[in-house]
Structure 1
Amino acid sequence: MSAPDEAAVAEPVTRKQALVDWVAAGCKPPEDWRIGTEHEKFVFHRGDLSPVPYQGERGIGQFLARLQRFGWAPVHEGEHIIALKKDKGSITLEPGGQLELSGAPLENIHQSCREVQEHLRQVDEVARELDLGMIGLGFHPTARREDIPWMPKGRYAVMRNYMPKVGTLGLDMMLRTCTVQVNLDFSSERDMVHKFRVGLALQPLATALFANSPFVEGRPSGLLSYRSHVWTDTDNDRCGMLPFVFDEGMSFERYVEHVLDVPMYFVYRDGRYIDVAGQSFRDFMCGRLPGLPGEYPRMSDWEDHLSTLFPEVRMKRFIEMRGADGGPWGRLCALPAFWVGLLYSDRALDEALQLIADWSVEEISALREQVPREGLATRFRGGTLREVALEVLAISRRGLADRAWLDRRGRDEAHFLDLLDGIAQSGRTPAEELLEAWAGRWQQDVAPVFREFAY
């Protein structure tokens, strides 16, 4: 995330209704719905496979500087380039130097996949000049926490200090994880609620299909998605499954109430991040924030606060699906296809709602707990999650066919699900394929993953 534009929103916010109205303003008619794909990747030195610091002739700062040749404009924090922007997309830095593409809002998956391909072409060109490589996995396969260099962004310094106070794995989340996610629109409060519920209920399934982080510090961890496990002890105030979403009274206001009860991290003022970690946005709206007594929030502060929540599904003026491990480029196209098929077709959304209608919060939470270890073999209602995956993928495929967005070869968006269909048919997650390679041709050495699975 780049530094906010303080001039954009200066009006003080003192009423909860203003926050509710801000979120509700995200409602769009279906013809204006868009797809925003985000994905992160680890950058490493090709010579010794070590993580890359920000500084130096081959550092992340130089990487961002060279990407400007493709028309990207720099975003600075102090003397450092900490992001790039072009059109409605951006390239940003995660705390441990993970490069993230936050894609532009696009009409269809064909466009999203072309965007991913062009981005990977650009970063690969620069990486080769610097003798660097990039890889998409959910968790860094070899590096220890202390091996990862921190990026020079003020918000990360605040989070770095706060994370150990609220969980044991928050610093690992910041430094050693990568994800792929998709941001989707809603047309009304009712539509938001339906999409939120389907997203939360089926997020464990997405975690299983995309499980791709079995290694920790060079050895199998005993889990298929260690990234997903990390979120279980990062910060329980701001992570998890949000059971209230399934309550009768779920609404924009109910979500705002939840966000107001989540402790803050920081406030951005005069080009710097002020540490208010653990303090209350409710107090801020009353001018009683201990870190900034007598000051009131701006709407940009609300946007910042929303961005510091990390549930399995997150709402801003759109909905973010957050349950998947990072992976190779084909899966970067499959993730938005999976969710667009389910949520952007009335028929598919109705079918998905019917499928989960009698799932209890306890069952969904149990899936969330078991999937990082068991993947598609997780037991569910007398069967396994694999059977659910086959049914859900069929719904998504029908939803994509309903959209009828064709490419130049006359194919609709459903072909982007082929990779996921193969995973579901086999019942074997990507992580299990990595573990098989480790036990077999890699001779219990994780290093070959950087060669075989680099972008």
Structure 2
Amino acid sequence: MVMSPELDRATVLPDEAAAARHIARICFKTGPPTLTGVELEWTVHDAADPARPVDRARLHRALGRHSPVTIDPTSPAERLRHGGAVTVEPGGQVEISSAPRPSIAALILATEADVAELTAALDAAGLALGRAGLDPWRMPRSVVETPRYQAMRCVFDRHGPAGRVMMYSTASLQVCLDAGEPEQVAQRWATAHAVGPPLLAAFATADRYAGRRTGWASARMAAWLAIDPARTRPVWSPVSPDRDPLTAWTEYALAAPLLCIRGDGPDWTPPPGVTFADWLAGALPRPPTTDDLEYHVSTLFPPVRPRGYLEVRYLDAQPRREWTVPLAVLAALFAEPATTRDALAVATPVADRWQAAARHGLDDGPLAAAATALFDLALAALPELGLPAGIHEETSRGIVRRRAAAERGHR
């Protein structure tokens, strides 16, 4: 989470009102919507035998000076040449988090260069990036162990096996959008949620897992939805569409059970069922601080998460260069307030169909119809992004292909 230097991260929070004020300072930063970022995550496989496990040591050798400290505490954790930060998730998934850019073209070009650099490093080590939102060959297996990941596994195990699938086998595409000016926040917040089910359906890539078909279009999202609704359900709902985003997010965050309690030892597992509100009320030996609250917020995983900007988390990882298409669609839908308003109107009737999107994808007629309409809006707004001719043409073709698939589902 991006922090302002003037914030005191060790301030004790005396009550829920103080916690709410701190959430307001860090989670919804307003201003002109100018920056966009992207986070690309992949499963990683042996190039000759994709079902073969890849261990931490092999990843470390491949990533070298770009290795995160989670796999080498002495690593300089250097960014890639065009600014992308490399992280490794608990199952060995590799992620690039881009530097935010003021233009989509600059974001695509810089991120593609970073992907090429990462790909070359992995290729030299006999490794390859996956092409789907879920590992199609292997069962869940821990690769990176930290106190945070150990606590996550323990807490998620209380709810069943979905937590391990999520931690060790899933890969996503995340798009980061500015929250906008104060008068724009509510509409951008609602739209980011509402377009989720149709875009999840349109870009689902996770129908196979551990050598078999799952019966889901996005078994990745199915795993997320099955973990713990208190930390993975959507914050916005068409049932109460006009609810203030800050109020809704504050209540969500304070009501969510703790996932980790950081300490000096290796065991960060919290007592079962203790929420952050309970901690504020004295449920634990020491009171929480602003730093504890920020860390707690980082353990909440709804489809859209406010982090000073809007982090869109519901898209499956895409094969090869195809990640640029959903990025461009979202950027186009949010390029102008009128387009964002029209996208919200199109998507609101299907905004609660998360399970249907994960299960059926574009075989769900209402979702396919909404996706078709959203692609039409995106194509009309695409010139607003100012893409160079070559990127514009490639992106337009990609959206048209996705629109054709959605239209077939609608029929």
Normalised by the length of structure 2, the TM-score is 0.87
- Structure 1 position 257, deviation (Å): 1.4
Partner of 1:267: helix, strand, or coil?
coil
In the alignment, structure 1 residue 199 sits paired with structure 2 residue 192: yes
- Structure 1 position 203, deviation (Å): 0.6
Classify 1:339/1:242 alpha carbon distance in 2 versus 1 (closer, same or farther; 3 Å). Answer: same
In the alignment, structure 1 residue 421 sits paired with structure 2 residue 400: yes
Q: Which amino acid aligns with 1:260?
A: L
Partner of 1:112: 107
- Structure 1 position 188, deviation (Å): 3.5
In the alignment, structure 1 residue 328 sits paired with structure 2 residue 319: yes
Determine which of 360, 368, 373 is the counterpart of 2:359: 373
Aligned counterparts of 1:369 and 1:274: Cα–Cα separation in 2: 32
- Structure 1 position 119, deviation (Å): 1.8
Partner of 1:311: helix, strand, or coil?
coil
Partner of 1:63: 62
Determine which of 395, 400, 405 is the counterpart of 2:377: 395
Aligned counterparts of 1:345 and 1:257: Cα–Cα separation in 2: 30
Aligned counterparts of 1:303 and 1:413: Cα–Cα separation in 2: 39
Partner of 1:340: 331
Root mean square deviation, CA, Å = 2.9
Partner of 1:310: helix, strand, or coil?
coil
Aligned counterparts of 1:392 and 1:364: Cα–Cα separation in 2: 13
Kept after mapping to 2: 8 A contact 1:400/1:412: no
C-alpha distance after superposition, 1:280-310 (max 9, x if no partner):
2223335x242xx123312x32222222112
Classify 1:152/1:73 alpha carbon distance in 2 versus 1 (closer, same or farther; 3 Å). Answer: closer
Partner of 2:269: 275
Aligned counterparts of 1:209 and 1:399: Cα–Cα separation in 2: 19
Q: Which amino acid aligns with 2:243?
A: G
Partner of 1:13: 13
Kept after mapping to 1: 8 A contact 2:195/2:344: no
Q: Aligned pair count?
A: 398
C-alpha distance after superposition, 1:220-253 (max 9, x if no partner):
2222211122122111111123355744332313
In the alignment, structure 1 residue 212 sits paired with structure 2 residue 199: no
Partner of 2:229: helix, strand, or coil?
coil
- Structure 1 position 202, deviation (Å): 1.4
Partner of 1:168: 161
- Structure 1 position 348, deviation (Å): 0.8
Aligned counterparts of 1:25 and 1:209: Cα–Cα separation in 2: 28
Aligned counterparts of 1:143 and 1:346: Cα–Cα separation in 2: 44
Kept after mapping to 2: 8 A contact 1:112/1:333: no
Classify 1:335/1:8 alpha carbon distance in 2 versus 1 (closer, same or farther; 3 Å). Answer: farther
Classify 1:167/1:417 alpha carbon distance in 2 versus 1 (closer, same or farther; 3 Å). Answer: farther
In the alignment, structure 1 residue 35 sits paired with structure 2 residue 36: yes
Aligned counterparts of 2:354 and 2:97: Cα–Cα separation in 1: 26
- Unpaired segments of 5 or more residues in structure 1? 430-455
Classify 1:134/1:239 alpha carbon distance in 2 versus 1 (closer, same or farther; 3 Å). Answer: same
Aligned counterparts of 1:217 and 1:25: Cα–Cα separation in 2: 39
Deviation beyond 6 Å, 4+ runs, structure 1: none
Kept after mapping to 2: 8 A contact 1:342/1:396: yes
Aligned counterparts of 1:191 and 1:139: Cα–Cα separation in 2: 35
Normalised by the length of structure 1, the TM-score is 0.79
Partner of 1:295: 287
- Unpaired segments of 5 or more residues in structure 2? none
Kept after mapping to 1: 8 A contact 2:27/2:309: no
Classify 1:294/1:224 alpha carbon distance in 2 versus 1 (closer, same or farther; 3 Å). Answer: closer
Aligned counterparts of 2:393 and 2:310: Cα–Cα separation in 1: 22
Determine which of 344, 351, 359 is the counterpart of 1:364: 351
